[in-house]
Structure 1
Amino acid sequence: MENLRFLLRFRRDPISALQELAQTYGDIVHIKLGEQHAYLLSHPDVIRDVLVVHHQQMHKPNLQQQPLGGNGLLRSEGDFHKRQRRMMQPAFHRKRITTYAQVMTEYTQQMSGRWNDKQQIDIAQEMMGLTLSIISKTMFGAEVEQDTQTVYNSFTTWMRLNSAHRFSPLDHALNSLPLPRKKQQAEARAQLDTIVYRMINERRASGKDNGDLLSMLLLARDEEGGGDGMTDQQLRDEVMTLFLAGHETTANALAWTWYLLSQYPEVEETLQRELDTVLAGRTPTPDDISNLPYLEKVFTEAMRLYPPAWVTARRSLDIYQVGTFTLPANSLLITSQYVVHHDARWYPDPQRFDPERWTAEARAQRPKFTYFPFGGGPRLCIGEPFAWMEGELVLATLAQNGACAWLQDKKSRWNR
């Protein structure tokens, strides 16, 4: 595809542009963006090589001038990234995150309790509000409740303005101009910083472990590197990173899951039968998840069709060999979850919503990186266990309360 035409297509519809590249030119596609060499890599073995085998030869590219998460886990590199991840890992141990399950189910029940049969709702907005409430509570405990609306408004403002220019080739130039959106983003960021730093200061002064994520981060020590904890700036960056990663992606995954269930009543019926059999009307707990295999298949298949993170990028530090191809240093290596998840080689009839793709036998027949919604390798999303538990508990809780049937009634109102 001619480069200028690709750029214009990518700006308008990035997912379709990447799909067309892969379907037309194969698993390794070279794109010249001015002086920048970029490559779309779409074979699972090559993706594994980039994300796992040769991860030390890669850095994450800086695609935003002022990321809200600062130098948090999503952006940091090298020894600093290893240190931060090592310190944060205990906060996402399964035993720790199961303590947040009650928050997840209670907040879900409160939300569904506000719905009624004659009401038309924006399910994406409802899921976004729910997951933001959950991450706020699990991050800060009760202390954030007085600021919930400010946090929600500031986050949604920042994300909306950021998304509007995320794929613009002129983004760096636009950021140097005194545009209204730049001022609004700065104001939203400042409001969030004020709240986060206040909570950090209050918690440091009290010295209490409130059982939330902030307590874990404050208590974390780098035992392998001198025993130091995080500075206020480091805490702020990691908190912002977890806020972004901890609610937007899960909310999108849940919204698409409800959409798919509304379009495939036979899947919804099978899911409802499993929930009725296992839960019999009671609120689900983490211990129930292993007894709800169809629920897991539904959520897994939804994230195959609509992966919340649909593209991943790395920048090669040195010359990089891919099969018979030698890629120059500083190449931009692009992998797309959406492209791979819709590849008919791995998923026949890829547009169809089919949870039975996720039997143990079917999984064993596919290469590992035919499915990677949370990335892979040392930079695998640290919050993956949290996201799986939250997604499955929210689905089970809402379906128990009749959400699937409610969505079937409103099927005609869905807008693709």
Structure 2
Amino acid sequence: METNTKELPKVKGHWLFQNSMEIKENILGFVQKYRPQYGNYFRADTIAQDICFITDPDGVKHVLQENNRNYTKSFGYEILKMFLGEGLLTSEGDFWRKQRRLAQPAFHKERLAKITKEMAASAEQMSENWEKLSENGKAVNVLHQMNEITLDIVAKSLFGADVGANLEDIRNAITITNEYAMKRIVQLVRLPLWIPTPAIRKYNKAARKLNDIIFGIIEKRRKNQAEHPDLLSMLMAAVDEETNEGMDDQQLRDEAMTIFIAGHETTAIALFWIWYLLAKHPEVEKKLHEELSAVLGDQQPSYEHIPRLKYTRQVIDESMRLYPPAWMVGRRPIKDDVIGGYQVPKGINVLMCTFDIHRHPDYWENPEEFNPERFSEENVKKIKKYAYFPFGGGPRLCIGNNFALMEAQIIVATLAQKFKLKLASEKHPEMEPLITLRPKGEIEMVIEKR
């Protein structure tokens, strides 16, 4: 290691359990409690793993960008691999680089323009549902609503017309597998999937159903070479310029699963927090409504409107600053490293806490305040690199970031054009940092016509 470096300051813990219990109980609270005391780089040990916490944008830049080849995905991603296979979220090295080259063109903004029609159609369908819900005045679980619409959009964007009668089965299977993954990732003891507990049996049945549907659609596409305007068609047509190879059926399945899990859950969570913040801040909601009236009038949002919905995008960005769905990014160094002058040993779990950096007083003025003006064209230039990174960064920047942002803009614009939400209770939702930053328990809102 370099000279003039320091060992990571270590949080004192129990003689046997170290920091395990405190981290398991509230990892976000743990970081926010000890960062002011120990600084932006500190270490905590648990029974299962040793952790280096980073809450410095320069440290994030080092890990994700400058020295990214020295880092692999961390502990949690190994668990996800049993659900997602070797998709872009979980694969490593040369295999990942090949898959990224193959998949990247499908997610270019120009390609996604075709898919915004599906997004708009699903949003309009939910708008019709909200029309009925607004009439009875009953409170609804908005997170469930957002999960439903984002899953429908992902399924139709991925499989197009072939999703057909499979949509309800896909929705049920994804919900079951996703919920099981959420629980498994925080379990201290993880049973093998061949042990037939009720939860594992339920998961395995759902996973088999999902595999049957995905492989069935792929087989149908292989036999019928007609072009389809969806993501699967783009992935099947992709050929790697370096190897002259495309994706086989297993690779296509793994990428489809990755798009399903990563593509609907994170956006649904982001949308929930957007509606929550708008309900809490009527002055922001009013300005959003003014933009929607000026840009859209009575028109349905489309791809052409997106660049003009600037304040809508600012609301989305500021919501993801306060409540980033991917609340932390984990990596593991292959070799010893030095970050911010601190010795970081190989094999330790490096957790870059997106949530804390997004609220860090060194990088944000009045960090707890909801203020979309931070992301105006003028102000966004002042934001320090990696002080805001809801989609990660470096070569492994989330490939679906453009998809997610376009989807969020279309959904928010369509629904906020006609409706506003009010909290059914003044109770502030607790955060539950699992794979994503979920609200804890059921948070209900009342839909009202504007």
Shorter-chain TM-score above 0.5: yes
Q: Which residue of 2 aligns with 1:215?
A: 233
Does the 8 A contact of 2:312 with 2:409 survive in 1?
yes
Q: Which residue of 1 aligns with 2:242?
A: 224
**Bigger share in strand:** 2
> Match of 1:140, as an amino acid?
F
Does the 8 A contact of 1:6 with 1:17 survive in 2?
no
Does the 8 A contact of 1:262 with 1:411 survive in 2?
no
Matched, 1:159 2:178: yes
| Residue in structure 2 matching 1:296, options 304, 310, 313 | 313
1:220–1:414 CA distance, 2 compared to 1 (3 A): farther
Secondary structure of the corresponding residue to residue 281 of structure 1: coil
Matched, 1:144 2:174: no
Matched, 1:201 2:223: no
Does the 8 A contact of 1:45 with 1:367 survive in 2?
no
* TM-superposition CA deviations, 1:181-235 (whole Å, max 9, x none): 222211111110010000000000101211111111111111211x111111111
Deviates more, 1:278-287 or 1:213-222: 278-287
Deviates more, 1:336-345 or 1:60-69: 60-69
Matched, 1:376 2:393: yes
Secondary structure of the corresponding residue to residue 338 of structure 2: strand
| Residue in structure 2 matching 1:51, options 59, 64, 87 | 64
* TM-superposition CA deviations, 1:106-146 (whole Å, max 9, x none): 11111121123223221100110000000111100111120
Does the 8 A contact of 2:139 with 2:424 survive in 1?
no
| Residue in structure 2 matching 1:124, options 138, 143, 157 | 143
Secondary structure of the corresponding residue to residue 67 of structure 1: helix
Where in structure 2 are the equivalents of 1:7-406 lying within 5 Å? 7-34=20-47, 36-63=49-76, 64-65=78-79, 66-115=81-130, 116-117=133-134, 118=136, 119-171=138-190, 177-225=195-243, 227-401=244-418, 403-404=419-420
Does the 8 A contact of 1:92 with 1:386 survive in 2?
yes
- TM-score of the superposition, structure 2-length normalised? 0.87
Tell me the number of residue pairs that the alignment of Structure 1 and Structure 2 aligns: 410
Matches of 2:228 and 2:194 in 1, distance apart?
42
* TM-superposition CA deviations, 1:28-48 (whole Å, max 9, x none): 011223584320011000100
Does the 8 A contact of 1:253 with 1:302 survive in 2?
yes
Q: Which residue of 2 aligns with 1:6?
A: 19
Secondary structure of the corresponding residue to residue 40 of structure 1: strand
Does the 8 A contact of 2:18 with 2:46 survive in 1?
no
Does the 8 A contact of 2:51 with 2:348 survive in 1?
yes
Matches of 1:412 and 1:259 in 2, distance apart?
11
Does the 8 A contact of 2:19 with 2:46 survive in 1?
no
* TM-superposition CA deviations, 1:155-204 (whole Å, max 9, x none): 11111122123223323x57675432222211111110010000000000
Secondary structure of the corresponding residue to residue 270 of structure 2: helix
1:123–1:35 CA distance, 2 compared to 1 (3 A): closer
Matches of 2:361 and 2:266 in 1, distance apart?
25
> Match of 1:85, as an amino acid?
R
> Match of 2:38, as an amino acid?
Y
Shift of the alpha carbon at 1:388? 0.7
Give unmatched runs, 5+ long, in structure 1.
none
Q: Which residue of 1 aligns with 2:432?
A: none
Secondary structure of the corresponding residue to residue 370 of structure 1: coil
Matches of 2:93 and 2:192 in 1, distance apart?
30
Shift of the alpha carbon at 1:411? 4.8
Matches of 2:426 and 2:125 in 1, distance apart?
24
Secondary structure of the corresponding residue to residue 95 of structure 2: helix
Give unmatched runs, 5+ long, in structure 2.
1-10, 430-450
Shift of the alpha carbon at 1:383? 0.5
Secondary structure of the corresponding residue to residue 285 of structure 2: helix
- TM-score of the superposition, structure 1-length normalised? 0.94
Secondary structure of the corresponding residue to residue 23 of structure 1: helix
Matches of 1:34 and 1:72 in 2, distance apart?
29
**Bigger share in helix:** 1
Does the 8 A contact of 1:11 with 1:168 survive in 2?
no
* TM-superposition CA deviations, 1:249-303 (whole Å, max 9, x none): 0111011101110110000001101111111121112222222211111000011
1:317–1:111 CA distance, 2 compared to 1 (3 A): same
Secondary structure of the corresponding residue to residue 368 of structure 1: coil
Deviates more, 1:47-56 or 1:150-159: 150-159
> Match of 1:2, as an amino acid?
K
* TM-superposition CA deviations, 1:21-65 (whole Å, max 9, x none): 323311101122358432001100010000000000000024244
Does the 8 A contact of 1:140 with 1:214 survive in 2?
yes
Deviates more, 1:283-292 or 1:161-170: 161-170
Shift of the alpha carbon at 1:104? 0.8
Does the 8 A contact of 2:88 with 2:96 survive in 1?
yes
Give RMSD over aligned pairs: 1.8
